[in-house]
Amino acid sequence: MKIISVVGARPNFMKIAPFIKAIKKHNNNHQENEVEHILVHTGQHYDDKMSKAFFKELNIPDADINLGIGSGSHAEQVGNTMIAFEKVLRDEKPDWVVVVGDVNATLSCSVTAKKEHIKVCHIEAGLRSGDMQMPEEINRLVTDRLSDLLLTPDTMSIENLRNEGTAEERIKFVGNIMIDTLENNRDKASKLGIPDVLADNLLNFRSFNLQAVENIFALLTMHRPSNVDKKEVFEPLIRFLLDEVTRDMYLIWPIHPRAQKQLKDFGLWDDVMKNDKMILLHPIGYHAMLRLNMSAKVILTDSGGLQEESTVLGTPCLTLRWNTERPVTLREYGGASVLVGNNVERIRKEYNEVLKLERKKTRPPLWDGNTAERCLREILAYFKI
């Protein structure tokens, strides 16, 4: 059997690493029935810190093929990926294309594969935010509509697919593959020292009281267009963080290129750089982020993956969004996160509440570190139905 798996942007790398490991393990144990695997990187994320660093850290082999798509509008990224990926499919003629998550690579490659009559498997199927303003929601809907095999991370995703009329035999519950990566890397991350994480990644060089940082800090990630693309939304958020959060504790912000650019365009960059309790970092690696997450008093984030990791690690999480495709991570379902949107009053209220909370770990069903093997098993079993 020949499988092409696809990655494009940063959140894909943690999802593909355990899948590739599962293929290697299968090939070692079943030499008569080996899986031929080709890894395609669309090249959407190309900076060393957004891409190469993760391959190295997570032991992902170099991509066999890089489509070199780079930055651009959504139509440019999707269109260029489809044109390049179609050639790959015609040359390689795989039995399966495996896509993960919800980025532009997920959409482009699933559509292209279906048009070439190649089976598509979607890992992390069935997540729905209901928010059609999110490019990721469009990517999820199209990919799930087309995929032959829908591998779901939680039971709510199964319900979403059923409600859309998806045939039962296409849906398999495998658990959350991100948690495989978390478990595979937990030991390594916990051995990192916070001072080293900061020293290795500092963007605004300044002296700060390391002991005070280690005692209590907040962790921030923010990059979604809905938060950073409009000044009238982004500026009040930044003012709240600078004027209120940094009054209580240090705030560590590994900053995404999109957010950095917007701060500069909106004239907010100097204020952020000047604040002596704001520790700005370059985009950090997987282990560094896991290490900070393990000790943060609170996380403020608009990332989907961090909502999941915080739930398993028990870090109180304020999700800077009005909706989530990952309700299983919400406090009302036992998780660590609460939706606060981007309204400062609401964020302030929940922030003050969250400071009183202790860490509380939860593990939804099948978030057990063995999801990748179940994914591969479902693909191998498909034709035996």
Contacts of 280 (CB under 8 A, 6+ apart): 202, 203, 204, 253, 255, 272, 273
Q: Which of 2, 52, 170, 258 binds ligand UD1 (CB under 6 A)?
A: 258
Q: Which of 45, 128, 297, 374 binds ligand UD1 (CB under 6 A)?
A: 45
CB atoms within 10 A of CB 143: 25
Q: Which of 50, 146, 216, 357 binds ligand UD1 (CB under 6 A)?
A: 50
Task: Provide, rounded to whole angstroms, the least separation between the CB of residue 335 and ligand UD1.
Answer: 19
- CA-angle at 225, arms to 219 and 228, nearest 5°: 55
Task: Kindly indicate which of the ranges 15-23, 251-259, 343-351, 360-368 contains the residues binding ligand UD1, using the contact rule CB under 6 A.
Answer: 251-259
Check residue 104 for interaction with ligand UD1 (CB under 6 A): yes
Check residue 307 for interaction with ligand UD1 (CB under 6 A): no
Choice between 104 and 185, CB closer to ligand UD1: 104
- CA-angle at 306, arms to 264 and 293, nearest 5°: 90
Check residue 34 for interaction with ligand UD1 (CB under 6 A): no
How far is C-alpha 213 from the chain's CA centre?
A: 26
Check residue 46 for interaction with ligand UD1 (CB under 6 A): yes
Task: Kindly indicate which of the ranges 33-41, 255-263, 290-298, 352-360 contains the residues binding ligand UD1, using the contact rule CB under 6 A.
Answer: 255-263
Check residue 181 for interaction with ligand UD1 (CB under 6 A): no
Check residue 308 for interaction with ligand UD1 (CB under 6 A): no
Task: Provide, rounded to whole angstroms, the least separation between the CB of residue 169 and ligand UD1.
Answer: 29
Residue ranges in 52-81 that form contacts with ligand UD1 under rule CB under 6 A: 71
Check residue 203 for interaction with ligand UD1 (CB under 6 A): no
Residue ranges in 133-172 that form contacts with ligand UD1 under rule CB under 6 A: 135-136
Q: Which of 24, 30, 36, 47 binds ligand UD1 (CB under 6 A)?
A: 47
- In whole angstroms, how far apart are CA 324 and each of 77, 338, 373? 24, 10, 27
Give the gyration radius of the chain's Cα atoms: 21
Distance CA 163, CA 177 (A): 23
Task: Kindly indicate which of the ranges 189-197, 250-258, 324-332, 350-358 contains the residues binding ligand UD1, using the contact rule CB under 6 A.
Answer: 250-258
Task: Provide, rounded to whole angstroms, the least separation between the CB of residue 1 and ligand UD1.
Answer: 28
Check residue 10 for interaction with ligand UD1 (CB under 6 A): yes
Task: Provide, rounded to whole angstroms, the least separation between the CB of residue 259 and ligand UD1.
Answer: 9
Query: Which H helix or E strand runs over 339?
Result: strand 337-339
Distance CA 315, CA 228 (A): 24
Task: Kindly indicate which of the ranges 5-13, 53-61, 243-251, 330-338 contains the residues binding ligand UD1, using the contact rule CB under 6 A.
Answer: 5-13
Under DSSP, the state recorded for 246 is H
Choice between 260 and 295, CB closer to ligand UD1: 260
Distance CA 214, CA 296 (A): 9
Instruction: Give the residues across from 217 on adjacent strands.
Output: 250
Residue 206: phi, psi to the nearest 5? -160, 165
Task: Provide, rounded to whole angstroms, the least separation between the CB of residue 258 and ligand UD1.
Answer: 4
265: its two tokens: 């365009």
Task: Provide, rounded to whole angstroms, the least separation between the CB of residue 103 and ligand UD1.
Answer: 3
**Alpha helices in the chain, H assignment, sequence order:** 10-29, 53-57, 74-92, 104-115, 135-146, 155-163, 177-190, 194-201, 210-215, 225-228, 231-240, 246-248, 257-265, 269-274, 286-295, 304-313, 344-354, 371-381
Q: Which of 119, 128, 223, 277 binds ligand UD1 (CB under 6 A)?
A: 223
Task: Provide, rounded to whole angstroms, the least separation between the CB of residue 53 and ligand UD1.
Answer: 11
Query: Which H helix or E strand runs over 94?
Result: none
Distance CA 162, CA 181 (A): 28
Check residue 321 for interaction with ligand UD1 (CB under 6 A): no
Choice between 10 and 114, CB closer to ligand UD1: 10
Nearest to residue 9, comparing CAs of 256, 261, 326?
A: 256
Task: Kindly indicate which of the ranges 8-16, 58-66, 91-99, 162-170 contains the residues binding ligand UD1, using the contact rule CB under 6 A.
Answer: 8-16
Query: Which H helix or E strand runs over 335?
Result: none
Any idea which residues carry the catalytic annotation? 223
Question: Which residues bind to ligand UD1, rule: CB under 6 A?
Answer: 9-11, 44-47, 50, 71, 103-104, 135-136, 223, 256-258
